[in-house]
Amino acid sequence: MKAKEIIKKIFYALGSYQLALILIGFVLCLLFISIAIPQKGFFTLSEISLWEKENPGIGFIANLLDFYNIFQSYLFLSIVALLAVNILLCTIIKIIPLQNILKLKGSQRIRVYGFITVHISLLVLLTATFISSGYKMTGSLVLTENQSFIDEEKNYQYLAKGALRKKEHSGIMIRQKKIDSYYQEGKYHVRTDSYFEIIDKNNVATRAISKINDPYVFDDYAFTIIEVGYSPEIMIYDTVNQRQMANAFVALKTSNISNYRSYSDYLDLDFLKKRLNISVMPAHKEENGKIIKTGENIVNPIMFVEIEDNKGSRKKLGYIKLGEKIKIGSYDLYFMNLRRWNSFTIIDDPGYVLAAWALYIFVIGLMIRYFPDIKSWYKVENS
């Protein structure tokens, strides 16, 4: 067999529908595996290692094939790459020779145009995905009202960067201003407006508002609000040595169960040798000796403090109002202030625009591909 014929055979095999079906089948299998095996983005490493201990056999294979991070595994990427080659070649096979398409009439020609549009859009989508995974930057930070932050990659709480990204995000400062959260009937969260300033080279470059579902974009970086909550300012004072041991705003975690929001977290402070659990209510009332939350806006905040020893047993220390203190051994804990915080995800994704276009074209391509069929189904049945 001549080399040319072999190349031709490989070309047609790589662009064949049989291969497309096999690859779709493989992708489906890997997607099922991603559901069965805990993935790194959604489970913590300790949860994954616990799962691995419970399933040693599968855990070993999963580790070997990088199935805990399946969408970045070589196996998945190779199959997607092969699928891209398949789509490219089958599109070329469909187009070349061009005269064949030009010979087609009416609905046949429209179907082929639809087929080509769908497959080209898939190629564009795969390219966009490649650009996104290679060049995207995702960072996250938590900002409390009136807090300034040097917006640099090294300062982020979490940072994920594509392997091919060279550009460093640095040099600007964010000054968090007011955060307004609106609630209906005192409990239904309906809106959050976060006001902040971006300071570029010592000048206020822009005054921005970011909202949930409406990120603010500055120099290709989208500032997306993910969560909002409360930050009490806590000061701890050593009454023996007359020293201030801590003074900071602590961004408490927000839990939301059936529209009841609670704001709490724990602090591991070395000098206390105990864990400090704190929670706040921005507005409250006292009823029959009980403290009841009355709303989500800061009206008359109150903080609940308890300590937890190494064995996990908890001791309630009580409630303190703003400006009051509570005793923890030889220390005094003051509740100084209460402000709102919001967490931002800061993303620069150069692949997004291409992906968005690919999605639009994909849908249009599908409509073109099936338009003659839908039209004929209607006509045939009516006749």
Q: Please identify, using beta-carbon distances, which residue of 237 and 357 lies nearer to other proteins.
A: 357
Going by C-alpha positions, the residue among 321, 319, 279 that lies closest to residue 301 is 321
Integer CA distances (angstroms), 248 to 32, 203, 237, 254, in order = 46, 27, 12, 18
192 sits near other proteins (criterion: CB under 8 A): yes
Q: Rule CB under 8 A: is residue 373 a binding residue for other proteins?
A: yes
349 binds other proteins (CB under 8 A): yes
Q: Are 149 and 178 in contact (CB under 8 A)?
A: no
From 159, 246, 269, 366, residue interacting with other proteins (rule: CB under 8 A): 366
Binding mask 256-285 for other proteins (x = CB under 8 A): ---x--------------------------
> Is 35 exposed, middle or buried, given 0-12, 13-18 or 19+ CB atoms closer than 10 A?
exposed
What is the nearest approach in angstroms of other proteins to the Cβ of residue 229? 14
Which residues are bridge partners to 338 per DSSP? 232
Residue 352 binds to other proteins (criterion: CB under 8 A):
yes
Q: In whole angstroms, how close is the CB of 296 to other proteins at the nearest point?
A: 13
Distance CA 156, CA 346 (A): 9
Task: Return the closest-CA partner of residue 219 out of 240, 201, 235, 194.
Answer: 201
d(CA 341, CA 145): 6
How many residues touch other proteins under the rule CB under 8 A: the total is 55
User: In the window 52-81, what residues touch other proteins (CB under 8 A)?
Assistant: 71
Binding status of residue 296 toward other proteins by CB under 8 A: no
- Which of residues 42, 56, 241, 323 is near other proteins by CB under 8 A? 42
- Nearest 5°: phi and psi at 170? -160, 170
Residue 363 sits in the site that holds other proteins (CB under 8 A): yes
Residue placing its CB nearer to other proteins in the complex, 36 or 164: 36
Q: Would you say 119 or 274 has its CB closer to other proteins?
A: 119
49, 55, 138, 297: which one binds other proteins (CB under 8 A):
138
Q: In 3-state terms, what secondary structure has residue 348? A: strand
Binding-site string for other proteins from residue 167 to residue 186, where x marks contact by CB under 8 A and - marks none? -----------------xx-
User: Hey, is 274 helix, strand or coil?
Assistant: strand
Angular region, 306: left φ>0, alpha ψ -120 to 50, beta rest: beta
Classified as helix, coil or strand, 253 is: strand
Scanning the chain, the segments in alpha helix (DSSP H) are 3-14, 17-36, 45-54, 56-64, 74-95, 98-103, 106-135, 352-382
Asked if 224 touches other proteins (CB under 8 A), the answer is: yes
- Chain residues that interact with other proteins, rule: CB under 8 A: 17-18, 20-21, 24-25, 27-28, 31-32, 34-35, 38-39, 41-43, 71, 129, 132, 138, 184-185, 188-192, 211-215, 222, 224, 226, 259, 345-347, 349, 352, 355-356, 359-360, 362-363, 366-367, 370, 373-374, 377, 381
